[in-house]
Amino acid sequence: MQMNCQVGAVPSFPSFGDPKWTPKVPGHSPDQSERVDYAKKLRIMVIDDESVIAETVVEILNEEGFEATAVSSGDSAVEVAKTLQPDVVLSDVIMPGLNGIETGIRIREIVPDCKVILLSGQAATVDLLEQARQRGHHFQILAKPIRPEQLISVIRASSGYVA
């Protein structure tokens, strides 16, 4: 049995501690509309009711050159968003009080351009996401557990942040 494999077809991910990593796209030079202000650090709010998870993700993101902040509840996140004005929110979906979906909706009311990425390891998330979609809210969702390099790649792709 012969398998047809192409060398270089596997995507590469940045290694931790290498904030200068950028994907190489042959022949592509970003035009003015695609350029990102590289002098500005991307502000990321990490929301998880398990503080050890939030703090670990924040540590990883800060090491990669982002400006990350941990918050342990949806209500607190909405308040923090008023002053932080995050570019990206990473939120657990299932939390006591405000769930991650409702938190994302409220934060987008404060910061309309904020990208919201939801993290979940529970089946109940499907129903909550469908209810949000019916109300006109769409979110990117990643299944837990997520590898750090995958998370960083998704953040960079969703925000247009390449540096």
Candidate ranges 71-75, 137-141, 155-159; pick with highest mean pLDDT = 71-75
pLDDT of residue 7: 37
pTM score > 0.85 for this model? no
- Reference 148, options 19, 55, 72, 57; nearest CA is 57
Cα Dmax for the chain: 60
Q: How far apart are CA 68 and CA 104, in angstroms?
A: 16
**What structural domains does the chain harbor?**
39-159 (3.40.50.2300)
Whether 43 contacts 84, CB under 8 Å: yes
Q: What is the pLDDT of residues 30-78, one digit of tens each?
A: 444 444 444 468 999 999 999 999 999 999 999 999 999 999 999 999 9
Banded model confidence at residue 81, pLDDT cuts 50, 70, 90: very high
Distances (CA, A) of 122 to 2, 119, 125: 39, 9, 6
Banded model confidence at residue 124, pLDDT cuts 50, 70, 90: low
Element counts in the chain: helices (H) and strands (E): 5, 5
pLDDT of residue 139: 81
